[in-house]
Structure 1
Amino acid sequence: MVKQERAARTRETLIRAAAEVFAEQGFVTASIAAISRRAGVSAGGLHFHFESKTALAQAVEDRAAEALREVTAGRRAVAGPVDGNALQVLVDATHDLMALLAADVVVRAGFGLCADVSRTSGVDLRRQWRLWVEEATRAAARQGELADGLSPQDAASVVVASTVGLEVLGAGERDWLAPHALARFWALVLPRLAADRTLGVLVPEGAGGSAGVTGRDCVAQRGEIPD
């Protein structure tokens, strides 16, 4: 049992070290030697757990995909979203994702690896995210939460393009992943996405957040709040 626990810890250390090196250098430039040094594990010890750099990259992607599934499963917006408000579920999920990207190098590296054209990835995290956002916007449409004339496909396209853009920019400059940056995005976009009856109750900084932007601020952008 002690050996198994030690082996599990070593494996976790290697995955995190690989993620750090991949995030800093990219898959092509990253070397097994650099990863083993970062992990404090010999090259032989690394190869005991992972046969190649590709296997390490796959392990990083798999962990990132698991973390993303936890975000989306926790914010499920299909049959009976939280409080019947699919748009708020979507807003909250984007905050969860950005917080995860900011805090977890494995998730950041996983997103970078799946977009790396120099290798064939077994995981497409951006597609996984896109499918969930499309699911959420369809739920919002069924509940009458989208603005008149707005299709769920168009709403999903805006959210996916913007959040993936923040993910890409945040890989190099962490401020793009900050809660206030995402809250400002939602404050600008929600008046175009949400139906009038929904807009005033939405919280751009995420339910329970504190980025300083409120649903009332969103409504004000339409000029609907008197002085």
Structure 2
Amino acid sequence: MVKQERAARTRQALVRAAAEAFAEEGFVHASLGAISKRAGVSNGALYFHFANKRMLAEAVEAEAAETLRRITEAAWAAQGNSLQRVVDASHELMGVLARDIVVRSGFELAADMARRTESPLRRQWRHWVEDALRGAERGGALAEGMSWRDGAGVIVAATTGFEVLGGSDAGWLSRQNITRFWEVLLPCLADRQGLESLVCAGSRPPGSALRDLR
């Protein structure tokens, strides 16, 4: 049991160190030697857990994807309509991007042209937003003339923009910025009758989604 716990701590240290290295230097330029040194482990310990740099990158993305899944599941489980769930999930995601290097690096890795041209994390987020907007349309929560597809497209484009810009300036990810985005968008997106019940600043305290699922 002690060995298993030590191995799990070593693996987690390597994932975090890799996330930091990838975020600072990019996937191509980050070296395994530098990552093992940053994690405080030997090269042999690194290779015990990860055969190559690509596997390390995939581990970073997998951990980030799990965090994103927890955020969206918590938002969906909360009371409220589909639009409020999207608002709440966007606040939670941007907050996590601002403070969690593994999640931030996971999103950035996906855009690294040396590895692939499409981001699985952004695709995961897009699919969830699209499902939520379909639900909002079915429930009559969208404004007249607004389709789920158009609404989801605007939300995904804007949140992706916040994510990218936040990589160099965390101010883009602030609760104030995301609240202002929803203040501008929701009057165009939401049915007038339901608009008054929507909370642009999010209906849940920051960080509550991840605390609820621990």
Query: What TM-score results when the alignment is normalised by the length of structure 2?
Result: 0.92
Partner of 1:216: none
Name the structure 1 match of 2:153: 157
The aligned counterpart of 1:119 is: 115
Question: Structure 1's 201 and 87: CA in aligned 2 closer, same or farther, altered over 3 A?
Answer: same
Amino acid at match of 1:125: L
Q: How far 1:209 moved relative to its partner?
A: 5.0
What percent of counterpart residues are identical? 55
Aligned residues: 206
Letter in 1 for 2:19: A
Q: Which residue of 2 aligns with 1:16?
A: 16
**Aligned-pair CA distance for 1:201:** 1.2
Give the corresponding residue for 1:104: 100
Match of 1:55 in 2: 55
Paired residue type of 1:69 = R
Structure 2 vs 1, CA of residues 54 and 67 (structure 1 numbering), >3 Å: closer, same or farther?
same
Q: SS at the partner of 1:30?
A: coil
Aligned partner of 1:70 in structure 2 is: 70
Range that drifts further, 193-202 or 116-125: 116-125
Cα RMSD of the aligned pairs, angstroms, is 1.7
The 10-residue stretch of structure 1 (107-116 or 154-163) with the greater mean CA deviation from structure 2: 107-116
The answer to whether the 8 A contact 1:113-1:121 is kept is no
Correspondence 1:128-143 to 2 at 5 A = 128-143=124-139
Distance 1:8 1:204, change over 3 A: same
Q: After the TM superposition, which parts of structure 1 deviate over 3 Å for at least 4 consecutive aligned residues?
A: 120-123
Q: Mean Cα displacement is larger for which, 100-109 or 114-123? A: 114-123
- Please say which structure displays the higher CA radius of gyration: 1
CA gap of 1:41–1:121, structure 2 versus 1, over 3 A, is farther
Query: Could you say what secondary structure the match of 2:76 adopts?
Result: coil
The AA in structure 2 aligned to 1:177 is L
The gaps in structure 2 that reach 5 residues or longer are 207-214
Q: Which amino acid aligns with 2:104?
A: R
- Report the Cα offset of residue 82 of structure 1: 2.2
- Inter-partner Cα distance in structure 1 for 2:61 and 2:204: 30
Shift of 1:96: 1.0
- Contact 1:58–1:121 (Cα < 8 Å) also in 2: no
Letter in 2 for 1:15: V
Amino acid in the other structure paired with 1:156: A
| Alpha-carbon distance in structure 1 between the residues aligned to 2:83 and 2:114 | 36
**Distance in 2 of aligned mates of 1:27 and 1:208:** 35
In structure 1, which of residues 189, 194, 216 is the aligned counterpart of residue 190 of structure 2?
194
1:46 matched to 2:42? The reply is no
1:163 partner letter: T
Which structure has the highest helix share of the two? 2
In the alignment, structure 1 segments of 5+ residues that lack a partner are 211-227
What does the per-residue CA deviation read over 1:90-130, in whole Å, with 9 as the maximum and x for residues that have no partner? Answer: 10010111111112110000001111110148970001000
Q: Distance in 2 between matches of 1:171 and 1:55?
A: 23
Letter in 1 for 2:115: R
CA-CA distance at 1:208 after TM superposition = 3.6
Q: Higher relative CO (CA 8 A, sep ≥ 6), structure 1 or 2? A: 2
Distance 1:142 1:162 in 2: 23
Q: Is the 8 A contact 2:75 2:88 kept in 1?
A: yes
Contact persistence 1:62–1:123 (CA under 8 A): no
